[in-house]
Structure 1
Amino acid sequence: MASYSGGMRQRIGIAQALLNNPKFLLLDEPSVGLDPDERVNLKNLITKAAQEATVIYSTHIVSDIEALAGSIIIMKQGRILAAGAVNQLTEPVEGLIWKMNVDYSGLATLQDKYICSSSNRSSDGIEVRVLSSTPPSAWAEPVYPTLEDVYLYLIHQDEIKGESPA
């Protein structure tokens, strides 16, 4: 086993966990070290296993949770911050997420002033998602929160700029 890559060892561990069709499956960071194709295969395996077993999936990869989980628990330092389905978790954060395009210098300024949940290149510069109880600029538009937005809100809610949410 020591001569195998991390991804190969991870796949072997997943295969071992699925042997004998367990009724309870505890997976801790199972997609670490897997390439995109193997991550898709893993999601398919877990979806199938979840039809007949209770699956607890611990990870920091939010897209995996959004794709797989019916019920989610968000924790910080061993404390439960929130629990529920994705739509239940996103509801309190609605109206606090804004999307806007900035250039590179604008991104640094924005990140100094606000919690930014993501920044992605776009044809107009960089598309940024900002957590704020008020619009961070005149051209910011409200967007529906993702689970990643919820996580960052819960972890950083004391740092969110603007008026406190109602």
Structure 2
Amino acid sequence: MTNYPSTEIIPATIDDVPVILDFIKGLAEYEKLSHQVVATEDLLRTHLFGASPKAEVILAYYQKSAADPRVPVGFALFIHNFSTFLGRPGLYLEDLFVLSEYRGLGLGKKLLTQLAVIAKERECGRYEWVVLDWNTPSREFYAKLGAKSHPEWIIQRVEGKSLDDLAAM
């Protein structure tokens, strides 16, 4: 017998691509970066579920009661990287998002916890992500879970024309 409300964290499938794209757009809106979203369902199908997947997604589902439908309310998209110092893979969380009306129910924590389980199962030496400097609620939330900031590491990024130019050198 299921207790309600009920939550579940499960791997996404190709059928979830429209939902994933909606979450990406929701996250971009929250971060005031909607103008940067160029992702499409076709791009997500290719790069998440194609012949050579580049990332993975887990989804958070919520069901208020037996009479209500189970609905997707959040996601986490992640990849593996590699630590040469540890000699082991790492898990890198690219995006985490829970719809605003479902925040405070522990779903973000469940998504982060499930990724920690995946990292341990895959023998990862670390699990990391970045957070925008202005996002104090998220930074405080992560700190409560034991995450530590590493301000001595500064992200470097090459994109767009700079990426084209570098590749052409």
**TM-score over 0.5 for the pair:** no
Highest CA radius of gyration, 1 or 2?
Answer: 1
